[in-house]
Amino acid sequence: MTLYSLHTPPPMEKPVLVAGLAGWGDAASAASDAADWLAESGQPIVTFDPDSIFDYRSNRPILRFNSGEAQSLTWPRMEIVHVRPSGHDVLVLVGNEPDYAWSRICDALGDLVQHLDVAHLVTLGAVPTPVRHGPETAVFCTASDPRLLLAGDELLMDEIVVPASAGTVFRSAVEDVGIPAIGYWAQVPQYVGRPYHPAVLGLLRKVSGQLEVEFAVEALEEESKVQIDRLDEIISQRSEAAEFIEGLEGRIGTTSKIPEDLPTADEIADEVLKFLEDPDREEN
């Protein structure tokens, strides 16, 4: 069975490959949301065969119903999409982290980045961290070539041992064929769920710097501000949770115990919904 299909790509000049897959290392789906935002309305040029790379019991197809009738079935996917923000060629690896064939995918990506003459790779990730939510999201990075570092980039200097995500494994395969790579990791508050707009925005700003392209992120900036304001209001109404969250600064790397009554991401999401549906709340 063929692992992937290569569609006829448009003429490109030294494209940058950006990778952000949903799955491990994608807290609050910030990395995959950023990649999807970048790839929106793009042209798929590489499509991986889902039967070859997915276990449908862990990456189940999504069936949508309307008025009791099945309307659509969406299969898990992994593909490379071509976009041209401000005339710059960009390839975006999007979709779900695969269940199978990681070694074969590594070989395929090594061949593809050479065939497509990729200039360098930017990987996106997000990790749950004991930090407070806020309009600015801290982003750290790892890089195979210091020349890829942007002003203000913070390198991860500590030695850590963690389970690898597919994105980091695929990055190693790309580096092995001589393509330089840099990876960005957004620090997502451990008590929030998807979507977390400030982290998406933080990652997109790093991609923007790598591409030397300005993105039109005004709508995302407004969504981020609204979300932070809502989280502030919700948490301010729960004194013990607010006390813990206000004390998160400086706790990274400690063994501070999370109070049992700290609201979970689902609880916060429920309260956001109740807040929005409250007919008595004042509009800004």
| Residue pointed to by tokens 């499509």 | 47
Note the Cα 184 to chain centre separation in Å: 10
DSSP conformation class of 86: G
What's domain 4-215's architecture?
3-Layer(aba) Sandwich (3.40)
Q: Which of 215, 217, 259, 227 is nearest to 241 (CA)?
A: 259
Count the residues in the chain: 284
Give the residue with greater pLDDT, 161 vs 48.
48
Residue 241: what pLDDT? 65
Match 């490379």 to its residue by tokens: 80
**For the chain, which residues make up each domain, given as ranges?**
4-215, 221-277
Which amino acid is present at 133? H
**For range 48-70, the mean pLDDT:** 93
Q: What is the pTM of this model?
A: 0.84
Beta-sheet strands, E only, within the chain: 4-6, 16-19, 43-48, 62-66, 69-74, 78-83, 90-95, 121-129, 139-143, 154-155, 181-189
The predicted-structure confidence for 167-220, as pLDDT tens digits, reads as follows: 999 999 999 999 999 999 999 988 888 899 999 999 999 999 999 999 999 999
pLDDT in tens, 70-93: 889 999 999 999 999 999 999 999
Provide the sign of the torsion angle of the four alpha carbons 160, 91, 194, 241, taken in this order: positive
Flag whether pLDDT at 157 surpasses 90: no
pLDDT confidence band for 237 (50 / 70 / 90): confident
